[in-house]
Amino acid sequence: MSLMTERGTAARSGPNPGRGGHAASTSGRPAPEPTYEGDFVLDEHLLLDCGRTLANPTLHYAVYGRLNAARDNAVLVCHALSGSAQVGQWWPELFAPGGLLRLDHDCVLCVNLLGSCYGSTGPGSVDPETGRTYGPDFPLISIRDNVRAQGRLLDSLGIRRLRLVLGGSIGGMQALEWSIVHPDRVERAAIIAVAPLGAMGLALNHLQRRAIQQDPDWAGGRYLPQRPPLRGLALARQIAMLSYKAPLLFDERFGRNPNRNGEDPRGLDDLGGGLSGGRYDIAGYLDHQGQRFVERFDANAYLAILRTMETWDPLHGHASPAEAFAAIRARLTFIGISSDWLFPPGDVRELADTIRRAGVHTEYREMTSDHGHDAFLAEQATLAQLLQ
């Protein structure tokens, strides 16, 4: 498979972010290595839904397996909010022998979202028109903008049709958009644990944004590389973790137990002495998650992708669902998660039913789990069985 193209350049490059979903997988399966990982650079401006443009944006992507001679074995995986293109790292169970993704048969691609800090153009990138990093001036990127850019990448690789597009959370938004924007290019789409974000999700995003922007090191988004708003970003991640898990799971794992590890040696817990024994165990867990996150993600990138997620509307201003979804030709499978309260299963089912009533071949399946929204990462084997 040639990855050098006339309408863009591909080069071995990019970060090694490791696991990049909402939370690390609990799977002990060795992660498959990409056959190829590199960059695609558009040779022109990308017109965005917000009315602005990105000059020569870069898409960082990874490929697992190889295209066959007919080029009809391509699968596109779309990552979650803070994910990377290295899908083998964060969804290894889907590559299990005899599983959903078979590298002896499939060519699996994953593309890092625009706005991210894992190789694609984002707030930390240099704007070629100004010579300065975008920072807080990075434009609003829609889910549809990402899908259009991904389509250009696949064009450059000679991939005209995808046998499957799948993703969870914001990745599921992309999977559905692919079936809308490129109806003749998608055979099947799996939309996992997602619907338009409700008021509770919008409220949590607002608090995360405020946590970052009220950090003393925020500096209006023009923070120094050596002094990013770590405390605010860590707190934002902790707020997010509450929505990724379910109350029953927290009760089973942590209850009202005292913190098993003592005070955080890195000093992220500044609330101090209300408890004679320090923090409760759940507080220690959240502080640990916040610390891990600031070591791998950027605050401006996090804010950019939050906006991408919360502004997604699959109707796109159409007068009716029938009008919005009429072009879809793919077979759609929606997966809800029983304990998900960020994207409740009732909302996922309602979206599936709405699209079905528009005349699209659509089915809904539900994953029973106590893991909450993160179940699609935490219980990968169960998810793979539902999708087979």
One domain, residues 295 and 357 = no
Residue 324 token pair: 């919005």
24 belongs to a structural domain: no
Shared-domain flag, residues 276 and 382: no
- Quickly state the pLDDT bin for 265 (edges 50, 70, 90): very low
Burial of 24 (0-12, 13-18, 19+ CB in 10 A): middle
Kindly state the percentage of the chain with pLDDT values over 90.
84
Q: Distance between CA 174 and CA 45 in Å, rounded? A: 21
Paired strand residues for 61: 38, 111
Residues near 210 by beta carbon (within 8 Å), at least 6 away in sequence:
none
Distance (Å) of CA 309 to CA 24, 88, 143: 21, 23, 7
pLDDT at 25: 41
Poorest-pLDDT segment among 110-114, 145-149, 158-162, 259-263: 259-263
Q: How confident is the model at residue 191 (pLDDT cuts 50, 70, 90)?
A: very high
My answer on whether 187 and 48 are in the same domain is: yes
Other C-beta atoms closer than 10 Å to the C-beta of 7 total 13
Question: Is residue 67 located within the same domain as residue 164?
Answer: yes
Determine, yes or no, domain membership for 248.
yes
Burial classification of residue 272, based on how many CB atoms lie within 10 Å of its CB (0-12 exposed, 13-18 middle, 19 or more buried): exposed
Alpha carbon distance 83, 61 (integer Å): 12
pLDDT, average across residues 336-341: 98
- Choose among 351, 386, 385: nearest CA to 179: 351
Q: Is residue 339 part of a domain?
A: yes
Average pLDDT over residues 350-365: 97
Shared-domain flag, residues 235 and 345: no
Mean pLDDT of 216-229: 96
One domain for residues 296 and 347: no
Model pLDDT, residue 16: 37
Q: What angle do CA 269, 273, 276 make, to 5 degrees?
A: 120
Strand order, beta sheet including 331-337: 36-41, 58-64, 107-111, 74-78, 164-168, 188-192, 331-337, 362-367
State whether 87 and 147 are in the same domain.
Answer: yes
Domain boundary among 285, 305, 325: 305
**What pLDDT band is residue 262 in, cutting at 50, 70 and 90?**
low
pLDDT in tens, 5-15: 323 333 333 33
In this prediction, residue 317 carries a pLDDT of 86
Same domain, yes or no, for 258 and 286? yes
Residues 205, 142 within the same domain: no
Is 228 within the bounds of a domain?
Answer: yes
- Residues 293-336: tens digit of each pLDDT: 999 999 999 999 999 999 999 999 898 999 999 999 999 999 99
Q: What is the mean pLDDT of residues 351-378?
A: 97
Span of 16-25, 281-290, 300-309, 312-321 with lowest mean pLDDT: 16-25
Residue 189 lies in a domain: yes
Checking if the pLDDT of 252 tops 50, the result is: yes
Q: Report pLDDT for 98.
A: 82
Confidence grade of residue 27 (pLDDT, cut at 50, 70, 90): low
Nearest to 174 by CA among 114, 121, 118, 122: 114
pLDDT at 363 over 50: yes
Position of tokens 């650079």? Answer: 41
CATH number at residue 142: 3.40.50.1820
The mean pLDDT of the chain is: 90
Domain boundary among 259, 285, 305: 305
Least confident of 121-130, 168-177, 225-234, 262-271: 262-271
If you average pLDDT over residues 186-193, what whole number do you get? 98
What domain range includes position 91? 36-196+313-387
- Shared-domain flag, residues 191 and 205: no
**265: domain CATH number?**
1.10.1740.110
pLDDT at 326: 93
CB 1 within 8 A of CB 67: yes
Using CA atoms, how far apart are residues 121 and 124, in angstroms rounded to an integer? 8
> What sections of the chain are H helices per DSSP?
87-90, 143-156, 170-181, 199-213, 230-244, 247-253, 281-294, 299-310, 321-325, 345-357, 375-378, 380-387
Tokens standing for 106?
A: 């499939």
pLDDT at 244: 97
In this prediction the pTM is 0.90
Report yes or no on 123 lying in a domain: yes
Q: Who has greater pLDDT, 148 or 98?
A: 148
pLDDT recorded at residue 210: 98
CA 379 to CA 21: how far, in whole Å? 13
For residues 35-59, average pLDDT: 96
Please answer whether residues 224 and 353 qualify as being in contact, where contact means their C-beta atoms are separated by less than 8 angstroms.
no
Phi, psi of 322 (to 5 degrees): -60, -40
Residues annotated as catalytic (active site), given as ranges: 169, 340, 373
Cα distance between residue 319 and residue 324, in whole Å: 8
Residue 144 has pLDDT above 50, yes or no: yes
Whether residues 188 and 247 fall in one domain: no
Same domain flag for 283 and 180: no
**Whether the predicted pLDDT of 275 surpasses 60:** no
Position 107 in a domain: yes
Distance of CA 279 to the CA centre of its chain: 31
Final residue in a domain of this structure, among 281, 305, 329: 305
Residue 28: per-residue pLDDT: 64
Residue 245 placed within a domain: yes
3-state secondary structure at position 177: helix
Q: Do residues 308 and 143 make contact, with C-beta atoms less than 8 angstroms apart?
A: yes
Number of domains in the chain: 2
Closest CA to 286 of 302, 303, 271, 306: 271
